[in-house]
Amino acid sequence: MSGESGETSVAPPPGEVEPGSGVRIVVEYCEPCGFEATYLELASAVKEQYPGIEIESRLGGTGAFEIEINGQLVFSKLENGGFPYEKDLIEAIRRASTGEPLEKITNSRPPCVIL
């Protein structure tokens, strides 16, 4: 090791596939809306569960928080009005990694509202 700090990754044993490898997620979010923190929180939870997953972020339009798995839109804040639950996204990733058909995530937690 070079002594540099940062993320460490433990490779799976030979012959085993790292969980989530082959699955690609793209999250498009509205940065001026303050959604970057939500993206980072979600990305961290996903990486913890599926270290081999590829996650890309893109800046989106006003109010956007859209998630694609392998090119298929699975969640849209513009349609649902809230953010996805981590457990629902983890389940969608599991399905994608096993080759099962993806279904759109329709459950959403409400966005934070300051009164």
Which CATH number fits the domain that encloses residue 76?
A: 3.40.30.10
Residue 94 lies in a domain: yes
Residue 12: CB atoms within 10 A of its CB come to 13
pLDDT at 7 over 50: no
Residue 91 lies in a domain: yes
Residue 105 lies in a domain: no
Residue 40 lies in a domain: yes
Domain that holds residue 34: 26-98
Residue 21 lies in a domain: no
Residue 43 lies in a domain: yes
pLDDT at 89 over 60: yes
26 closest CA partner among 61, 50, 60, 49 = 60
Percent of all residues in the chain with a pLDDT value above 70, rounded to a whole number: 77
pLDDT per position as a tens digit, 17-63 = 466 678 999 999 999 999 999 999 999 999 999 988 999 999 999 99
What pTM does this model have? 0.79
pLDDT of the residue at 110: 78
Give the DSSP letter string of 40-89.
HHHHHHHHHH-TT-EEEEEE-STT-EEEEETTEEEEEHHHHSSB--HHHH
The answer to whether 97 and 86 have CB atoms below 8 angstroms apart is no
More confident residue, 115 or 37: 37
The conformational region for residue 21 under phi > 0 = left, psi -120 to 50 = alpha, else beta, is beta
The domain tally of the chain equals 1
Residue 92 lies in a domain: yes
Residue 56 lies in a domain: yes
